[in-house]
A and B are shown apart, each in its own frame.
Chain A
């Protein structure tokens, strides 16, 4: 667990798993003696939100405090959007480049190379579709929900829709984007002919593994931090609407 008072430098040294979060929050290294709270303030981040995400990342059994709206859902949505951008603009292209370098320097047949590159192209398309759906349907729904819950008289139309759709539906159909990447690792480890450049091969396998873990953690974080908050708000709005 990390806390607001802890030195950010020490938090990172003790928990290097936090590192991938930094670019998404726009946090940059060079912390000096600043505490977690100070770093958050200087990067324009709500420290409560940062702590909730960071601790959810570090501890699988971490349970966010209930009933406290110490940060808005708008903050969560902003973070998710930044994370998506990071996947699309940094993580996936980086992974693809490493794969291509490995394949280009290899003795693989054209067909074998095409198998992998074709796979990665399709994977990126699926990934993009998934994120587009989230950004066009799910995130706007969350923002609207928050807006409605702050209004004295929520829109009856929205209230009606709320009875039919809930964030739980989204969580249920939440595709697990890491499965295909795991298959790709397995293909390289077990079924493609050995690469001459084993160092690069190992690096690719390790990077794939890291990306898989990151995607799992991201999805779990959505399930554990985002979904409960949104559900809370849905319930609240449904009850208020019912009373009106």
Chain B
């Protein structure tokens, strides 16, 4: 399970801590950093990235420049508002009200990455590069590191590095595990795997 990193920029202490405790209990979610003012948040985001941002109305207003220069952030942001939650500003995905029920808030938080996952990129784990997909395919076909290296004009060492990265990204180490991964992610068909000649 990939862990999603959240940044909390909410000035009221209790609301921020409450959200942090709630987030840390959601499987697969981690709070990366907490801020109580806009300046620190802007400074942090200059050099760091976040999967998702939960921000209060006040800090959102103060950091409006940030969102103008980084419109991609809007997609990943949940607003904490004192106002009516049905009126989420158009560009934002979702907003929560401190008075809402726990289940409601949890649903909105998990809703962020459910829709992100459903984006029609491909049904591959988006974190694999094209090169890595090619290598997973070759591993599933039973090629050795040497054979893969020869076909892709790489050194064996580079192939091994790719394999290490693939394993740590997917959490799958064995060839058989990668093969099944490749089938269920349409990198290879089951026919290609079962019809490969015996060594």
Taking Cβ atoms with an 8 Å cutoff, the residues of A that contact B are: 60-63, 109, 111-112, 115, 118-119, 121-123, 125-126, 175-176, 179-180, 183-184, 186-187, 190-192, 216, 220, 224
Assess whether B26 is interfacial by the CB under 8 Å rule.
yes
Assess whether B27 is interfacial by the CB under 8 Å rule.
yes
Given contacts A115-B179, A115-B193, 15 further A-B pairs with CB under 8 A are: A61-B106, A62-B25, A63-B21, A115-B180, A119-B177, A119-B179, A119-B180, A123-B177, A179-B1, A183-B177, A183-B181, A186-B184, A190-B184, A191-B183, A216-B1
Most chain B beta-carbon neighbours within 10 Å: one of A109, A115, A126, A183? A183
Report the separation of the CA atoms of residues A95 and B174 in the bound assembly, to the nearest whole angstrom: 19
Say which one of B50-58, B81-89, B165-173 lies at the interface with A: B165-173
CB within 8 A of A61: which of B102, B175, B176, B183?
Answer: B102
Are A191 and B190 neighbours in the complex by a CB distance under 8 Å? yes
Residue of A nearest to B177 (CB): A180
- Interface size of B by Cβ–Cβ distance < 8 Å? 25
Report the separation of the CA atoms of residues A175 and B171 in the bound assembly, to the nearest whole angstrom: 6
| Given A115-B194, A119-B179, A184-B180, A125 and B27 contact (CB-CB distance below 8 Å) | no
Report the separation of the CA atoms of residues A115 and B180 in the bound assembly, to the nearest whole angstrom: 8
Residues of chain A within 8 A (CB-CB) of B69 are none
Are A63 and B176 neighbours in the complex by a CB distance under 8 Å? no
Most chain B beta-carbon neighbours within 10 Å: one of A60, A122, A126? A122
Top 4 closest pairs, chain A to chain B, by CB = A122-B174, A111-B194, A119-B176, A186-B184
Are B27 and A122 neighbours in the complex by a CB distance under 8 Å? no
Of residues 155 through 199 on chain B, the ones whose CB sits less than 8 Å from some CB of chain A are: 170-177, 179-181, 183-184, 190, 193-195
Residue of B nearest to A191 (CB): B190
Assess whether B22 is interfacial by the CB under 8 Å rule.
yes
Of residues 1 through 33 on chain B, the ones whose CB sits less than 8 Å from some CB of chain A are: 1, 21-22, 25-27
| Given A61-B102, A111-B195, A119-B179, A126 and B174 contact (CB-CB distance below 8 Å) | yes
Report the separation of the CA atoms of residues A184 and B180 in the bound assembly, to the nearest whole angstrom: 7
CB within 8 A of A216: which of B27, B102, B193?
Answer: B27
